[in-house]
Amino acid sequence: MGPTGRLGADAVALDELATEMSAAADWLRSMRWNRMSPLDRALGEWEGPDAAAVMQMLAGIAAVRRRMATTLDEDASRLRRAAIEQRRASRADPATAVLTDRAGDGGRLVQRVGERAATTVVILVPGASTDRGDRSRLRADARRVWVNITEQVDRSESVAVLSWLGYDPPDTVIGAIDVAAAEEGAADLVAEVAALRLSGAQRVVVVGHSYGGVVAGRAILHGLDADAVVQLGSPGLGAPGVAERASASGIELHAARAVGDPIGAVAGRLPGLYGDDGLGRGAVIDGVDILATSGHGHSSYLANDELLVQLAKIVAGSGRTIGSGRRDGA
């Protein structure tokens, strides 16, 4: 610990140094000897062994500049990663609490990571085959999301992430063809968000994964009072008319599907059950912002850094269009 009482590196200083190094790398790449007057004029009509020697020397200098630029870029990337890790290491572990843990009738489990009366709340809604036995994984997902969000939001805001198994998901993927559980879960989710609003939540973002995305979409039709809904690897928007109702209610819709996610084989094939497929990679759907993800498969969304950064920006409210797609027909 130094005289200022701070442990570890200064993450802001690391970011600033990384920016300076990247700028220096760009400057080195932009240099061209044949643009350097009067050298270009001097070499224009010069011939002979001396001219060849100078040309060779300049080529060597250019190669050195390229290597230096590459090294600067690599070091800048290391500094940025170090800044991220420093922020994570410097942040105290968030408070955790189990709000609901009930067996029977499929069981219910709601866990909170973060402050009790938070002004910014994220609700993670898991999908089919999730049960109370998954509590450790669900809590780890919530903590990971909380860490990334708190790097983006204003420090004056309090943040909580709820792992919300407040409904009874289908036990199997085949069982997910039945949307009755989604309808029941949607009604319960609407009630949960309403209670959060009464307790002082100012921004609420619902993140539904897989069948949980169907629950979130149908909740919009039931009057969900959320600021944004994010659907990850969902078979559709949830039901017919979700995008239109979200637009009318002022709810942002964001969606992502990873490469190799088998849910893509189902998406759009059962619109009467799951609604339109607004989740294809690179798709352009009115009212839906398509998020980029470098993840693969169906179960790694909340472990993908690229997606988590975009999610944090959505939660922070930093612009309606976050991802690589379009929304509102723009």
Q: Which residues of 148-159 are buried (b: 16+ CB within 10 A; e: fewer)?
A: bbbbbbeeebbb
pLDDT of residue 286: 67
Alpha helices in 222-304 (DSSP H): 242-249, 271-274
How many residues does this entry show for the chain?
330
Q: Which of 33, 31, 20, 24 is nearest to 69 (CA)?
A: 24
Phi-psi category of 77—alpha, beta or left, where left has phi over 0 and alpha has psi -120 to 50? alpha
Whether residue 7 is predicted with pLDDT greater than 60 in this model: the reply is: no
Structure token pair of residue 223: 């009057």
Q: What is the pTM of this model?
A: 0.69
- Per residue in 76-109, pLDDT tens? 988 888 877 765 665 656 788 999 999 876 789 9
Which tops the pLDDT comparison, 59 or 197?
A: 197
Q: Which amino acid is at 126?
A: P
Integer Cα distance of 35 and 38 in angstroms: 9
Please give the DSSP secondary-structure letter assigned to residue 288: E
Beta bridge partners, 125, equal 208
Mean pLDDT of the chain: 82
Q: Which of 227, 215, 211 is nearest to 186 (CA)?
A: 215
> Can the peptide bond before residue 271 be classed as cis, meaning omega within 30 degrees of 0?
no
Please give the DSSP secondary-structure letter assigned to residue 291: P
Structure token pair of residue 26: 């760009």
Integer Cα distance of 287 and 290 in angstroms: 10
pLDDT interval class at 43 (50, 70, 90): low
pLDDT of residue 91: 61
**Phi, psi for residue 197 in degrees, rounded to 5:** -60, -40
Out of 3.40.190.10, 1.25.40.80, 3.40.50.1820, 3.40.50.300, which CATH number does the structure's domain 96-316 have?
3.40.50.1820
Which tops the pLDDT comparison, 249 or 326?
A: 249
**Phi, psi for residue 254 in degrees, rounded to 5:** -130, 150
- Pairs from 171-174 (Cβ < 8 Å, separation ≥ 24): 171/128, 171/129, 172/128, 172/129, 173/128, 173/129
